[in-house]
Every structure is written in structure tokens, then in C-alpha cells.
């Protein structure tokens, strides 16, 4: 689903990603963990075909960036990120924030949407518990409601690859727990798209995610199955602090070693 080889992203003198190689298989659900500025969002922009690497190669859904029309590729990728949310016009309704994904845009203009598209958008809002706010401007929604609308939007085109960039950011405890449960349910479904979740917080890893990529300073510290990769030692290296990993019923947390 994703095959990144020796990818480097450079802006001026800053190296945002430094020789990153990463392969994601169809049945895998990945968590990307790393401190602020590690390069997680940059990596998601490559995976979402929103950015090209400075060097190296990126293949998404068997298409190589640079050799494919990204406008045809992007609808096959569900991308839930702050950047997408910020581009939704202030007065656009929650329903339109979702339905416009069918056209790869964020604001409704003169496109003619099929009733079927609107029905699907409405059903997705309902499925994610925000059906009642369908006619409210996106900008007036609470952070938790916005996150759920964004996920509904990411699912609108029935994508083959789903990318969530910090969907739990800004949520209160109950909001986070309920989002984690919903995401766990989503990836447990047999026909679920391949999913990648970016987070800073181990508590936000939904049960059912199978692999972890740890990123620091634009470099991969470790990548592989959760059971082998998510360790106190790897976390300590990634976050540059002596950390102890705690696991309970498929959920994770970490604390500074006393």
C-alpha cells in the first residue's frame, strides 16, 4: 500500500526527513510515534501524495509519485489532518465538509453532487456520532465534533488507504476514549482500509493496530510489529528520555523512569 525508499525531504538547510524507508502492507495498521518536530506530518504528506520527496522514491497504492496524476491518486487516500480541516471554509456545513471529499475539494461551489453522495455523507456523519450537527457550520463545532466530521470526510471516497494525523489532539478524556474505541472498531472490520495513525501519545493507540514506526529528527529509530517495536528502550531513544512502557488490556502508556 505504501513503499517509501530512502526518502529525504529538505527545505532550505533543514532536513525534515532523512533517508526514510518504510513499507506498509495491506492488512497492516500502523502507528507513527515521535516527538514534536520529528517529521511525522511531513511523512504523512508524502503518504497522502500531497508532497514529493526531495530524493528517494514514494509509491502509494502501487503508483510512484512523480509518475502518476496525483489528482487521480488522492481520492483513493483518506487523509484526516489539521491541514485539511483548516482549508474547510468557515461557513461550510458539516455535511458539505464531508460531501466535498467526493470531488477532492473542501468548499462547496458549483459542483453538482448526487443525492447518493449526500446520503453517504449523512450516513457517515451518523456512523461517527455527529449526524445531528450536519447543517451546522464546521467552524462552530466543538473540537471533538470536528474530529469526527474529519474522519467521516476521510471515509467519504471509500479509500484504500486511511491516514490519521493526530486525530486525538485537543480532545478531552472521554472524547479521546470514545475516539479510540471507534477507531479500534473501524480497523477491526474485515474490509477496513489499510490505516496509519500519527500520535504523540501512547494512550491514543487503539487496540488492533499492528505495527509501529518510531521517528526522531526525521529518521526512523525503529519500525515493525507492536510487540517487538514498542519497547521502553525504543521509546526512550525516540523521546530522548528514560521511559517505562506500561501495557494494559491492549492499551499503552509510558512514564519517566524514577
Q: Where along the sequence are the contacts to ligand ATP (CB under 6 A)?
A: 11-12, 14, 16, 34, 36-42, 200
Cell readout for 244 is 517505562
Cell readout for 198 is 500519527
Q: Distances in Å between the alpha carbon of 110 and those of 100, 103, 136, 171?
A: 11, 11, 20, 34
Nearer to ligand ATP, 118 or 203 (CB): 203
CB neighbours of residue 8 within 10 Å: 15
Shortest spacing between CB 229 and ligand ATP, in angstroms = 18
Nearer to ligand ATP, 130 or 213 (CB): 213
Nearer to ligand ATP, 156 or 205 (CB): 205
Nearer to ligand ATP, 17 or 124 (CB): 17
* C-alpha span between 251 and 201 (Å, rounded): 11
Shortest spacing between CB 238 and ligand ATP, in angstroms = 11
Nearer to ligand ATP, 47 or 149 (CB): 47
CA dihedral 118, 29, 5, 16 (to 10 degrees): 80
CB 157 within 8 A of CB 75: yes
Shortest spacing between CB 248 and ligand ATP, in angstroms = 25
CA atoms within 13 A on the CB side of 251: 11
CB 251 within 8 A of CB 203: yes
* C-alpha span between 34 and 36 (Å, rounded): 7
211 - beta bridge partners?
30, 225
The edge-to-edge listing of strands for the beta sheet with 55-60 is 14-24, 2-11, 55-60, 63-64
Shortest spacing between CB 41 and ligand ATP, in angstroms = 3
Shortest spacing between CB 145 and ligand ATP, in angstroms = 22
Nearer to ligand ATP, 108 or 201 (CB): 201
Shortest spacing between CB 1 and ligand ATP, in angstroms = 21
Shortest spacing between CB 9 and ligand ATP, in angstroms = 8
* C-alpha span between 192 and 143 (Å, rounded): 25
Nearer to ligand ATP, 12 or 191 (CB): 12
* C-alpha span between 77 and 12 (Å, rounded): 29
Amino acid at each position: 500500500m505504501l513503499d517509501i525508499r530512502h526518502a529525504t525531504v529538505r527545505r532550505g538547510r533543514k532536513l525534515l526527513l532523512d533517508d526514510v524507508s518504510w513499507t506498509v502492507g495491506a492488512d497492516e495498521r500502523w502507528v507513527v510515534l515521535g516527538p514534536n518536530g520529528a517529521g511525522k506530518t511531513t511523512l504523512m504528506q508524502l503518504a497522502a501524495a500531497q508532497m514529493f520527496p526531495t530524493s528517494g522514491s514514494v509509491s502509494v497504492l502501487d503508483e510512484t509519485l512523480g509518475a502518476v496524476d496525483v489528482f487521480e491518486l488522492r481520492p483513493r487516500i483518506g487523509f484526516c489532518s489539521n491541514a485539511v480541516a483548516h482549508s474547510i471554509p468557515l461557513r461550510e456545513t458539516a455535511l458539505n465538509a464531508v460531501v466535498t471529499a467526493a470531488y477532492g475539494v473542501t468548499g462547496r461551489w458549483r459542483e453538482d453532487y448526487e443525492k447518493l453522495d449526500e446520503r453517504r455523507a449523512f450516513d457517515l456523519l451518523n456512523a461517527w456520532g455527529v449526524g445531528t450537527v450536519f447543517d451546522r457550520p464546521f467552524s462552530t463545532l466543538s473540537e471533538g465534533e470536528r474530529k469526527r466530521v474529519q474522519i467521516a470526510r476521510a471515509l467519504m471516497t471509500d479509500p484504500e488507504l486511511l491516514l490519521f494525523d493526530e486525530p486525538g489532539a485537543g480532545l478531552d478524556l472521554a472524547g479521546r476514549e470514545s475516539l479510540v474505541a471507534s477507531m479500534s472498531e473501524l480497523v477491526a472490520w474485515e474490509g477496513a482500509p489499510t490505516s496509519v495513525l500519527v500520535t504523540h501519545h501512547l494512550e491514543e493507540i487503539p487496540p488492533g493496530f499492528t505495527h509501529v514506526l518510531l521517528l526522531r529528527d526525521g529518521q526512523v529509530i525503529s519500525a515493525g510489529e507492536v510487540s517487538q517495536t514498542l519497547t521502553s528502550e525504543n521509546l526512550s531513544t525516540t523521546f530522548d528520555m528514560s521511559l517505562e512502557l506500561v501495557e494494559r488490556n491492549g492499551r499503552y502508556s509510558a512514564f519517566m523512569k524514577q
